[in-house]
Amino acid sequence: MIWPRLILASGSPRRRDLLAAVGADATVVRPRVDETPDGGDPAATARRLARAKAEWAARRPDLPAGRRYIVAADTLVVSRRRVLGKPNGGADARRMLGLLSNRWHEVVTGVCLLDLKTGRAKCQAEVTRVKFRKLAPSMIRAYVASGEPLDKAGAYGIQGRGAVLVERIEGCYSNVVGLPLARLAKMLERSGALA
């Protein structure tokens, strides 16, 4: 599988690492957009935010030459119809983890592929169900004290120490990390960009 050279409109090191793991060469551009969810359908919100990031990157005058496609993503954690964004400190992270304890939730990632040559953007959403095990208050406190959950939607990272919080997943693992690679590959294939 040969990936095209990409521009990744994301400040997430996890998304960059996922692309590197599958052999994709991606130049990172950190978008500056308001990532506040609008209270609407989570999948529509994630697609809208991913598109806003891609369009922001496309307007930059200093984009690297020889790269035709911009990839952007936005990940939301949804528990009981409530979107859990990045926590506003330790107390908020502990609250979120308490809500997720011993329950299923959904991780929704909007992915946008913008073709700089045609100006067309294709945006889709991937949903993965995640079940947390029952978390003791001491485990929640220790995990939050590690600092890992403070910059992640839903206050956890499945690819790090947060892996021990997760009992089961249904769907795409890389989606929970922040970028559904199989979906992105299909989008690139349909665009004729992935061989």
Q: Which residues are catalytic?
A: 74
- Please, which residues have CB within 8 angstroms of residue 128's CB and are 6 or more apart in sequence? 106, 107, 169, 170, 171, 172, 173, 175, 176, 180
| Residue 10: C-alpha distances to residues 17, 54, 101 (Å) | 12, 9, 29
From the number of C-beta atoms within 10 Å of its C-beta (0-12, 13-18, 19+), residue 159 rates as middle
Give the HSE-up count for residue 53: Cα atoms under 13 Å, Cβ half-sphere: 29
Closest among 142, 120, 129 to 187, alpha carbons compared: 120
Closest among 57, 49, 32 to 83, alpha carbons compared: 49
- CA pair distance 45, 162, nearest whole angstrom: 25
